[in-house]
Amino acid sequence: MESVDNYPDFVKDMNAVLQHVDCEWLNGAPPDYTLSNELYLKERLKVHMRGSLPDKVNNLIKNWERELSYKTNVTEWKTVVPTFRISVNGGAWLTIPDLLKIGAYNAFIGDSEFYCASRVSDPRQSHKIFRTALGSGFGWECLETYSELPTIVFKWRHWGNVTGEFKCPMRNGRDVQVSPIGNRVEIFGISKILVNKNFQIVEMENYFRPDQMMEQIIKGSTDQSC
């Protein structure tokens, strides 16, 4: 196994980019990931050997998500190349400008039955919807890898608990509004990334069922639309 010291900070430490305090952050300062980190460390299913490929991927994707969601100056993104592109479930390729315009949640979920991305034009609003609902943190982990560099295929898990109100537009034109009842949200997916020699992501493909997340959020609720 090659030493992890040969790689950049974003594959060594899951919170590496949060130390980039001089960057342009969405809210003026690095975001607080305390709750998500605590959830991850407490409930993760896998503890990978430091420097192993799953460990590197785990740190890389966590840091990529932080940059995607909160670094507003793309020239300060360290985890991807400038020509980075991404697709979800075989859909159209999206570039960095596309992601900045629509936001991470809209890119990944799209127009599902209980969340309609095309009716949420402001990326900040999409973040607010899910950060409110999943107020105790939303953990993410790389479970295992299936291929080696430079093209890495891996399985992942994303989970949390519904502790706040969930309110958003649905595909049918109405809105869903759900009071928190402590539902468990847990989804799994498969992704494929191509990385360069600096372990920066060149492109990413993701496969999972977005509706599963919303179905779990509203499960058991008696107030589901308005």
* 198: helix, strand or coil: coil
Helix (H, G, I), strand (E, B) or coil at 23: coil
DSSP state of 135: T
Q: What is the pLDDT of residue 99?
A: 93
Name the CA dihedral angle for 57, 60, 64, 70, rounded to a multiple of 10 degrees.
130
Q: What is the per-residue burial (b if ≥16 Cβ within 10 Å, else e) of 124-163?
A: eebbebbbbbbbebbbbbbbebeeeeeebebebbbbbbbb
- Extract the tokens encoding 77: 């993104």
Number of Cβ atoms within 10 Å of the Cβ of 123: 19
pLDDT profile of the chain (226 residues), mean per 10: 72 96 91 96 97 98 96 95 98 95 92 90 89 94 97 98 92 88 93 97 97 87 60
167: part of which helix (H) or strand (E)? strand 166-169
- Specify the amino acid at residue 206: N
Contacts (Cβ under 8 Å, ≥6 apart) of 128: none
Q: What is the C-alpha separation between 129 and 120, in angstroms, rounded?
A: 10
Nearest to 176 by CA among 222, 124, 122: 222
In the chain the domains, ranked by start, together with CATH numbers, are: 24-218 (3.10.450.50)
Q: Which residue has the tokens 């499960």?
A: 219
State the pLDDT at residue 226: 55
Is 156 in contact with 186 (CB distance < 8 Å)? no
Task: List for the chain the helix, strand, coil content (%; round to 5).
Answer: 35, 30, 40
CA dihedral 145, 147, 150, 154 (to 10 degrees): -30
SS3 category, 82? strand
pLDDT in the model for residue 25: 93
The pLDDT, as a whole number, for residue 191 is: 98
